[in-house]
Amino acid sequence: MFKLNYLINKNMTDMTKIRFYLKDPKGRKETCLFMMIHYGRYKMVKGRRQYLPLKYFIGESIRPEFWSKRANRAKEAKEFPNYAMFNQRLSHIEEIVRNLVLHFKYSGDLNAIKILRDSLDRHIKQKRPVEQICEKSLFFFIEQFISEAETTKSLSTVRQYKNTFRLLLDFSTNVQKIDFQNIDMSFYAKFKSYMNKAGYSEAYFSNQIKYVRLFMNEATERGYNASLLYKSRKFICPQVTADKIYLTTEEITRIRTAKLSTSRKLEKVRDMFVVACYTGLRFSDLVRLQPSNFNHVDKILHIRTQKTDTTVYIPLSPEALAICKKYDFSFPPINNSAFNTSIKEIGRQAGLVEKVELLISKGNSKVRDVQPKYRLITSHTARRSFATNAFLASVPNISIMQITGHSTEKAFMRYIRVSGEDNARRLLTHPYFSKK
């Protein structure tokens, strides 16, 4: 007989503690999420217990800016619309772990740790619909498609693919098993109902249908799929006009000239936001600016955008040029979540407190939301403000679109925020209305 070197506390279910942590918590890209399980396993060292937690990779990843260490969950953020499902997945994993620990409560086997790890592999990493095993299934194809996209598409695009993939997996597991032949109007209706109950907006549902159609079209072209039921004229991406705000030139000036509190961080965020208002840059491109992106002779900024992988050329206004010079043409690093929190405080200090009413699509209904304007400001507000103000200043649409990257005038007109009154004021300068 041999003496056990590794023991498991008989009351370990009472002391099971589960924590998730990031592999690279200070990084700016997606990083792996690990789980640390303290379940009472220990060994005796010089007459004292030395506890041995299990470290386990759960197969998920997240950007550090969207993770709350204190809550041990993903943050509720508009930039991470899949946070609710992500957190639901973590809660499900915790439940699996506690049930398995209960199963091994009275085990004193030397291999208990290996058995637990193998059980986690079976229940967590392989807990997918049976159809995935088949090399001709929908989920197998989507996995292959995403693997290819990781070498050819931008990080943000791949993230969108993965979000849709997770939603479809969850739907197939909890609502109705699906494969190529099931993607029809019945699926469309049930998927919409499923997303409505989960609290997703109509705009987000429309986005997911866009990627479902993309997956199906690719699979059809490659010979994986023979069913064309998804091509029904009713299987559409609903056109949802997002009710978003923009800042007028006067409001941008109020932000630019506001006397902020002594926080140096607020000043940096304010300066970056104002530059975005004058250039139309996305946040992902704004934080990547380097001196090499500037033509100092012609006062033109040029950058290859991260989202569309195209080069844009932007004339620099005196205000934007002065701010860029202040930072030697390279802004300090900051994540989007922190930026959005700070810009709201800046808006408050700048006096943007007027009440704004928005109508938000939730399923088949509209929800009225009234908030002070500063609470609605995000990093993307700057880009929308640039496009809208340029339009109101009678800059030709095609010239604005070459900066914003909109491929059609129809898409551009949906993007900008112009009220009937704004449009009437703009037309006052037109010869047709200004002639005697």
185-240 pLDDT, tens digit per residue, is 999 999 999 988 887 878 889 999 999 999 999 999 888 888 999 999 999 888 76
Angle made by CA atoms 63, 66, 72, in degrees to the nearest 5? 105
How many angstroms separate the CA atoms of 311 and 321, rounded? 19
Dihedral angle over CA of 149, 152, 158, 161, nearest 10: -40
How many angstroms separate the CA atoms of 109 and 116, rounded? 11
Angle made by CA atoms 213, 86, 99, in degrees to the nearest 5? 125
What's the pLDDT score for residue 10? Answer: 46
What is the full per-residue pLDDT of the chain (436 aa) written as tens digits? 333 344 445 444 446 788 998 988 888 778 888 888 887 777 778 888 877 788 888 878 888 989 998 899 999 887 787 788 888 888 888 888 887 777 665 445 545 566 777 777 777 765 444 444 445 689 888 988 888 888 777 777 888 899 999 899 889 988 999 999 999 999 999 999 998 888 787 888 999 999 999 999 999 988 888 899 999 999 988 876 555 788 999 999 999 999 987 678 899 999 999 999 999 999 989 999 999 999 988 899 999 988 877 899 999 999 999 999 999 999 988 888 889 999 999 999 999 999 988 766 655 566 677 889 999 999 999 999 999 999 988 899 899 999 988 888 887 887 787 766 677 777 777 777 766 5
Answer for the pair 113, 121: CB distance below 8 angstroms, yes or no: no
Question: Would you say the C-alpha torsion 101, 102, 106, 109 has a positive or negative sign?
Answer: negative
Is the entire prediction scored with pTM above 0.75? no
How many angstroms separate the CA atoms of 43 and 54, rounded? 13
Q: Which residue has the tokens 């079976």?
A: 122
Encoding tokens for residue 358?
Answer: 């928005």
Answer for the pair 331, 287: CB distance below 8 angstroms, yes or no: yes
* CB-based burial label for 377 (10 Å; 0-12, 13-18, 19+): buried
Query: At residue 73, what is the residue type?
Result: R
Second CATH level (architecture) for the domain 131-231: Orthogonal Bundle (1.10)
How many angstroms separate the CA atoms of 295 and 293, rounded? 7
What's the pLDDT score for residue 128? Answer: 45
Phi–psi pair at 56, nearest 5 degrees: -140, 130
CATH number for the domain whose boundaries are 249-434: 1.10.443.10
- Residue 387: how many CB atoms within 10 A of its CB? 23
How many angstroms separate the CA atoms of 154 and 161, rounded? 11
How many angstroms separate the CA atoms of 13 and 286, rounded? 49
Across 363-406, the runs of DSSP E, i.e. the strands, are 365-372
What's the pLDDT score for residue 316? Answer: 94
Beta-bridged to residue 80, according to DSSP, are 77
Dihedral angle over CA of 139, 141, 143, 146, nearest 10: -130
Dihedral angle over CA of 307, 309, 313, 319, nearest 10: 30
Beta-bridged to residue 315, according to DSSP, are 300
Answer for the pair 113, 37: CB distance below 8 angstroms, yes or no: no
What's the pLDDT score for residue 152? Answer: 76
Q: Which residue has the tokens 């500037």?
A: 294
Report helix, strand and coil shares of the chain as percent, to nearest 5. Answer: 50, 15, 35
Domain borders along the chain are 6-127, 131-231, 249-434
Of 193, 163, 155, 190, nearest to 176 (Cα)? 190
Full DSSP string of 266-303: HHHHHHHHHHHHHH---HHHHTT--GGGEETTTTEEEE
Q: Which residue has the tokens 């109902």?
A: 193
What order of strands is seen across the sheet that includes strand 31-38? 17-22, 31-38, 54-62
Helices 138-152/202-221 angle, 10° precision? 100
Phi–psi pair at 429, nearest 5 degrees: -85, -10
The helix (run of H) or strand (run of E) holding residue 396 is none
